[in-house]
Amino acid sequence: MAADLLPLSSPRRVLLQARLYLYRRSLSTNLASPPDDSPTKDEEEIKEGRGVEKGRWLALPPFAAPPVDPSSLAKKMMFCGGGYPAGCSGDDYTTTALKWVRRCCPDLPATLVHKLFRLRQVRKNVASSTISYMDSHAEKMQSKRVSAKNAMMPGDVILLPATVQKSIVGKFDDASGEDDMKYMRSIELYRDTTIIVLNKPPSMPVQGGIGIKYSIDALASISLKYEYAESPRLVHRLDRDSSGVLVLARNQFCASILHSLFREKTTGASFNDIKSASRVLQRKYLALVIGIPRHSKGLISAPLAKVIQEDGKAERITIADDMKSASAQHALTEYKVIESFPHGYTWLELCPLTGRKHQLRVHCAEVLRTPIVGDYKYGWKSHRRWKPVPFPPTIDVEKFPRNKLPFGLKSGGGSIAEKQPWLHLHCKQMTLPNISAALEHPQSLNDDDRHLSKLEKLSFVAPLPTHMQQSWDILSS
């Protein structure tokens, strides 16, 4: 018998009735923001099961299947006109219990969500037909434990321990001022009903974590929500010290489509269907590298793998020796030399055809042998011999802004004129399908691909950050 089935003894029946009463009271409770990353008393209750035994449950919204399968729609956008690449189908979209919890609770730390599933503290309400004491059939709700990979069906209700309810009111009190909100909105490049596009500043992380007070996702939920019920959601990443075009989805359904678009871009490139994948969704980066590549342009095809450092904590990405290795991931990057200089520097245009962690930095450092300026993780040897390039007298240094920025962001300095330059990697342009236009008639998308073949594309261009603009001017003088 399952551990959560109760005998029909009178005391246990009373306990069940009490738990059902507490559960009904919890149905009207809205989920607040999560606790800090540090362990709390409530998190200890979750671990020990005390919060569960007390019958305190928090019900998430009932699962409802979207009118359009976001994964299939993304595949149609990526491969319309040419069909799916071999080994890739359009009907593999499934919403698991883990995905649903993450969508309903985007502010809940991922580590805590995985812990809840691992400790079997997540349940799902299911309807069961019973016979009452008057011999009439009735339907009642029973909860049973659910694993992270269990598929969600329409009407399913996920239950979490009520101890996950923690308010973060006050955590970002100093980030909710009018000036700070004005700054966040000043870096907007574009906004429509489905997405918000930002020009991410360097040194700002996109996602929170231990020791991170401010991040794009946390600040966007305060400053960029506007009149929407849901907070903007991350759909891809930029390294903390890089800058440029960053796309946020305005609700979970659009986030699912965009997640699938970025995933299919990588999958399509991995299936050697590079042309169709790069045409529909394309990112162009500008990087200043140390050295001059042997060829003016080319395609880098080098698998990447994660390596744990000797201390057992830090990790780095490196070129995989064996593609059959468990951690090896196929990675493709197109590159083109924009201009090389006598100083020994080169401006490169980089187009990642796959989306691997630190892909551009590793491909530049280990394949082209030209590490990116300011990349001390993968180009530390080149930076040991670093010599600043002074500003020429023709450049007015005072023209560059040195205003103090909010959220502890760097301001002033960082160019090749400094002893310690910042990372010179900037996502300058992104092209993607107009999802807002595609969703104007969502029902027709399931049956008619002609609409998608004519779907317009949006292109966003992000101005260079100050330190890269200074380096550009220095080398161009």
Q: What is the CATH number of the domain that holds 394?
A: 3.30.2350
Q: Are 348 and 363 in contact (CB under 8 A)?
A: no
Most confident of 140-154, 335-349, 383-397: 335-349
82-91, 107-116, 163-172: least confident range: 82-91
Q: Report pLDDT for 389.
A: 94
61 assigned to some structural domain = yes
Per the model's pLDDT, the better-predicted residue between 89 and 79 turns out to be 79
What residues make up the domain containing 35? 10-164
For a pLDDT cut of 90, what percent of the chain falls above it? 42
Q: Is the pLDDT of residue 230 over 70?
A: yes
* pLDDT tens string 440-464: 766 555 555 555 556 789 999 999 9
> Is 70 exceeded by the pLDDT of residue 13?
no
Q: Which two tokens stand for residue 393?
A: 């007298």
- The DSSP symbol for 27 reads T
More confident residue, 302 or 25: 302
Q: How far apart are CA 78 and CA 477, in angstroms?
A: 42
Residue type at position 238: L
| pLDDT computed for residue 442 by the predictor | 60
Contacts of residue 118, defined as CB under 8 A and 6 or more positions apart, other chains included, come to none
pLDDT given for residue 57 in this prediction: 83
Residue 57 lies in a domain: yes
Global confidence as pTM? 0.71
Better-scored residue on pLDDT, 293 or 316? 293
Question: Would you please indicate which residues are annotated as catalytic (active-site) residues?
Answer: 239
* pLDDT for position 370: 98
Mean pLDDT of the region 187-195: 96
- Choose the weakest-confidence range: 78-87, 180-189, 286-295: 78-87
266-296 tens-digit pLDDT:
766 765 555 544 467 899 999 999 999 999 9
In the chain, helix, strand, coil percent, each to 5? 30, 20, 50
Residues 299 and 424 in one domain: yes
Of 164, 188, 204, the residue at which a domain comes to its end is 164
Which of 117, 135, 164 is the last residue before a domain boundary? 164
| Residue 297, Cβ density class (10 Å: 0-12 exposed, 13-18 middle, ≥19 buried) | exposed
Q: What dihedral do alpha carbons 314, 318, 321, 326 form, nearest 10°?
A: 50
> Structure tokens of 107?
């502010």
DSSP states of 228-257: -SSPPEE-S---TT-EEEEEEESSHHHHHH
Locate 48 and state its tokens: 């020990």
Please give the Cα distance from 207 to 248 (Å, whole number).
Answer: 12
> What pLDDT, on a 0 to 100 scale, did the predictor assign at position 67?
62
Amino acid at 211: G
Q: Does any domain span residue 458?
A: no
From the centroid of its chain, how far is CA 297?
30
Give yes or no: residues 16 and 160 share one domain: yes
Does residue 385 lie within any of the structural domains? yes
pLDDT, position 179: 80
Question: What pLDDT is recorded for position 272?
Answer: 54
Q: With the C-alpha atoms ordered 172, 178, 184, 188, is the resulting torsion angle positive or negative?
A: positive
Least confident of 24-33, 190-199, 280-289, 427-436: 24-33
Higher local confidence (pLDDT), 148 or 312: 148
Residues 288 and 424 in one domain: yes
Q: How many residues does the chain have?
A: 477
In total, how many domains does the chain have? 2
Q: Are residues 419 and 294 in the same domain?
A: yes
Domain end point (choices 148, 164, 180): 164
Please state, in angstroms and rounded to a whole number, the distance separating the CA atoms of residues 124 and 6: 17
In a domain? residue 127: yes
Query: How far apart (Å, rounded) are the C-alpha atoms in residues 184 and 223?
Result: 7
Structural domain contains residue 456: no
pLDDT (average), residues 375-383: 95
Q: Is 199 part of a structural domain of the chain?
A: no
**Residue 445 covered by a domain:** no
pLDDT value of residue 26: 45
